[in-house]
A and B are shown apart, each in its own frame.
Chain A
């Protein structure tokens, strides 16, 4: 009896329960008294934390799904097979929370189905809605294999194997469009969005940053699954992923700064303005800190170094997206900062996401069982890592 209570009082389940309970209460208030009753949103800052975090960042952090699926099944990088299911599950969660977030965020969520029947082909958001619908379906189908396997439905598994490659190709194309469309949303505001974030190549910037974020999320999650699910992803595999992360970050950093320089916006980064610290926080978290950790041999080959590098990239991504939605509009939005209720709802979404992933992983064969971490000596591990880097 006492043990049971001890289990209940573990900090994380309790904190999650409290936050989710508060979020439900806030959501109820929001549905009765309107968005204004729980948020700091206003006519001059119509989008805020929820769009920046649940919608823009959630989608970007889901990018690991199509990257890994196409790496393994289309490009033939079979070594990533042990993590492909986990990244598809993460992607599915990202999209699930995009839609769930919208149901709280939209003013008239009961009309969300209107984008199926009323078309406006000039709107990037219209195309985005369709990409989300198509890609979510693809993700469900991609993940269905895990369910077929669990219940031993051989015929369905066979059908799946026959259609899996075209499915993954379609998924990768739609996901690419979807990620780029998020950036396209903001190209319509050249006069409003600050020059540090507005760019005609926003779709390219959003796409290249989501690759880095998706890969970082894979490393971050495997650290969490080691801590909470007692499952260890082989270190050489993570080092391989981190190699991809370094390249993706490098490409994004070059694009980001080349874009700033060509538009003549670089001096703004060194001007004393309200936006400047937010810009540099983004740059430090997204580029500088991860680069230091990923270039140093000792940190890039240690689980801890990889964890902090990926954590920094995840927060850097978050900062970039929030800057685009809020800081970038500082000149017009009269100093919006999120209300505590907005933070509670966003945090609750993240927590529910982790709980759901944990539950799915526990009951479905997401993580390969036949690959227990091989008992290797430190020298052997180092050798692995060296080989992984030299490939």
Chain B
């Protein structure tokens, strides 16, 4: 199955007065009712008002997800459909995924004795059956569009081309943090919509991966330095012993007895 994604057009969103995406998301994922401002274990998607516009936040389903890369037990994984999913059965609750995520997406059940990481999973089971995500199905305008990642990129580019005066010249998500599966079109700069400023184009997981590849070098160098030092130390001791012995023998030869034995 080809990688899927979402295209979110901030200019077409009706905001909380519609709010259908939020409601169906909660129903799809069995989450408690209620409107929240921030992503949490209660809300996998939220509508935030920024500069008169409504921006919908949800998991970006990165092409090279930091959360998937850093999870020590592989509780998070990226499916063929592009959906980044979570397996609570493996999770040990270290929350490294939350700290690592450049978009502050994964949330935690802070007041549960057996807490889970909670986040949007791009309706992974639905889309594998060939369905559309719940939010995209519910959206009455073209604010949320579900489709093949490549198709969405083409659509976004053509919207920008046709309405150059309305949109920012580039979409968000093509290169940010190594590329995402959720794209945004906006009328205002993306920083104003609350997106992080210092995102790199290099996928963040590459950074620790380059370092981890140095591990064999460090091990070999360590073995060489420590082994060499030990050899030198032993050699020095041997030489010192021999020298002492020679001195002692000389002493023996000169005075005949009297000198103490060297061990």
- Residues of A whose CB lies within 8 Å of any CB of B are 31-37, 41-44, 46-47, 70, 73-76, 106-109, 111-112, 114-115, 118-129, 165, 169, 172-173, 176-177, 180, 184-185, 187-192, 200, 203, 329, 332
Cα A154 to Cα B30 in complex, Å, equals 65
Distance of B89 from chain A, by nearest CB (Å): 8
Give how many B residues have a beta carbon under 8 Å from the other chain's beta carbons.
Answer: 60
Quick check: which of B17-25, B158-166, B216-224 contacts chain A, the rest being far away?
Answer: B216-224
Contact assessment for A111 and B218 in the assembled complex, using a CB-CB cutoff below 8 Å: no
Contact assessment for B69 and A127 in the assembled complex, using a CB-CB cutoff below 8 Å: no
Distance of A180 from chain B, by nearest CB (Å): 7
- Residues of B whose CB lies within 8 Å of any CB of A are 38-40, 66, 69-75, 90-96, 98-100, 102, 104, 106-115, 177, 196-200, 204-205, 207-209, 211-212, 215, 218-219, 222-223, 226-227, 229-230, 232-234, 236-237
Cα A34 to Cα B96 in complex, Å, equals 18
Q: Which of B92, B100, B229 contacts A188 (CB 8 A)?
A: B100
Cα A44 to Cα B39 in complex, Å, equals 10
Chain A residues with CB under 8 Å of B227's CB are 169
B91, closest chain A residue (CB): A108
B105, closest chain A residue (CB): A43
Contact assessment for A120 and B73 in the assembled complex, using a CB-CB cutoff below 8 Å: yes
A183, closest chain B residue (CB): B211
Chain A residues with CB under 8 Å of B66's CB are 188-189
Query: A43-B107, A108-B93, A125-B94 provided; 14 other pairs, C-beta below 8 A?
Result: A33-B111, A75-B230, A76-B233, A108-B91, A111-B90, A120-B74, A124-B208, A125-B71, A125-B96, A173-B219, A184-B212, A188-B70, A190-B200, A191-B196
A30, closest chain B residue (CB): B113
Contact assessment for B223 and A169 in the assembled complex, using a CB-CB cutoff below 8 Å: yes
Pairs A–B under 8 Å by Cβ, sample size 18: A34-B115, A35-B110, A35-B115, A42-B110, A74-B226, A75-B230, A76-B232, A76-B237, A106-B93, A108-B114, A109-B92, A111-B90, A111-B92, A115-B92, A118-B75, A125-B94, A184-B208, A191-B204
Distance of B144 from chain A, by nearest CB (Å): 23
